[in-house]
Amino acid sequence: MNGFIHVKDPLDELAERFAGWAADQANIKGVLLVGSRARKEPPADSMSDLDLLILTTNAEYYLRETDWFGRFGDVLFTFVEGTAIGGQFERRVLYKGGLDVDFNVVPNDLFTQLLEVGFPAEVQDVFRRGFRILVDKDAVLGRISDFSETMTTTPPSLEQLDQHTDDFLYHAVWAEKKLHRGELWTAKWCCDVYMKKLLLRMVEWHARATRGWDYDTWYEGRFLERWADPKVVAELTNTFARYDAEEVAYALLYTIEAHKLLSAETASKLGYLNLEGKYTEALRLVKKYTSLGQG
């Protein structure tokens, strides 16, 4: 013996206990471990949660009832929400001590069907990053294809880039009007939520246009600080605001400028016409409604 006592990770232990319990439930056909605890890069850390995909013939029960997950720990909070990818639902549970588990509930017949016709690209991406089979009663999970190859994204067409830019700039003007009217909450939401989603799409396009369309930009901004251009990350510093009218006005202008920079470089790499004229007109309209444009 080396004198060291191995302490099992609490979430790994919970996964084992859940798998043992699930094996005895007639309506659970399979359990997959996915997410950070199934991938190698970047590996899970002390803040990582536990993502379990449950294949069941009674999905409604596991989403509706609250008596089954309490056997795995003392529950602090739980709720049901749509999954970030895949269009399904998951029951999220936070146990005492901070143990965070996402029980992703998938109808077994739907999963079997997808095995035949093919998984959506975003689901393939999850499997590509790693998964581990914990329960497989019908021997179907072993049929999941090898998605180890990097996924390639198609570059946006000029029409798509144009539509995206119009959407972004339209809402920039709309947000400034709300701000000028005194609707601070609405203006801030538009600037820091809706427009940021569009800005993120442009950050992704810019990264792939720069480094290749098979470059990994993850999803919903995950690990953005690792894969985005450092100068882009630096540009984001002033694009978010406190709940203050003047700060929202400045954040709005910085957000437009950041999008403009990314759009110009992305369009250039794709051989498209620069859309700078649209930004000029949008900035003129935005500054029309704010004192920042005076002087």
pLDDT tens-digit series, residues 9-61: 899 999 999 999 999 999 999 999 998 888 878 777 777 899 999 999 999 99
Q: Are 239 and 256 spatial neighbours (Cβ–Cβ below 8 Å)?
A: no
Question: Does residue 3 carry a pLDDT above 60?
Answer: no
Residue 106 to residue 108: CA distance in whole angstroms: 6
Residues ≥6 apart with Cβ < 8 Å to 281 = none
Question: DSSP class of residue 24?
Answer: T
pTM here? 0.84
Q: Could you read off the pLDDT of 111-167 as tens digits, one per residue?
A: 999 988 988 888 888 888 889 999 999 998 988 876 766 667 799 999 999 999 999
Q: Are 202 and 153 spatial neighbours (Cβ–Cβ below 8 Å)?
A: no
The string over 69-100, giving b where at least 16 C-beta atoms fall within 10 Å of a residue's C-beta and e elsewhere, is: beebbeeeeeeeeebeebebbbbebbbeeebb
Helix (H, G, I), strand (E, B) or coil at 174: helix
Which pLDDT score is estimated for 5? 47
Tokens of residue 57, six digits: 């013939």
Q: Are 171 and 197 spatial neighbours (Cβ–Cβ below 8 Å)?
A: no
Residue 201 to residue 208: CA distance in whole angstroms: 11
Q: Are 254 and 263 spatial neighbours (Cβ–Cβ below 8 Å)?
A: no
For residues 102-115, give the mean pLDDT: 94
Q: Are 39 and 147 spatial neighbours (Cβ–Cβ below 8 Å)?
A: no
Cα angle 169-175-177, degrees, rounded to a multiple of 5: 110
Pairing of strands 28-34, 132-136: antiparallel
Residue 143 to residue 161: CA distance in whole angstroms: 38
Which pLDDT score is estimated for 6? 44
Residues ≥6 apart with Cβ < 8 Å to 112 = 140
Residues ≥6 apart with Cβ < 8 Å to 250 = 238, 241, 292
Q: Could you read off the pLDDT of 194-239 as tens digits, one per residue?
A: 999 999 999 999 999 999 999 999 988 999 999 999 999 999 999 9
Instruction: Please report the domains of the chain, with CATH numbers, ordered by start residue.
Output: 10-143 (3.30.460.10), 158-293 (1.20.120.330)
Residue 84 to residue 231: CA distance in whole angstroms: 28
For residues 73-88, give the mean pLDDT: 89
Residue 246 to residue 102: CA distance in whole angstroms: 39
Higher pLDDT, 46 or 88: 88
Which pLDDT score is estimated for 87? 82
Question: Does residue 295 carry a pLDDT above 50?
Answer: no
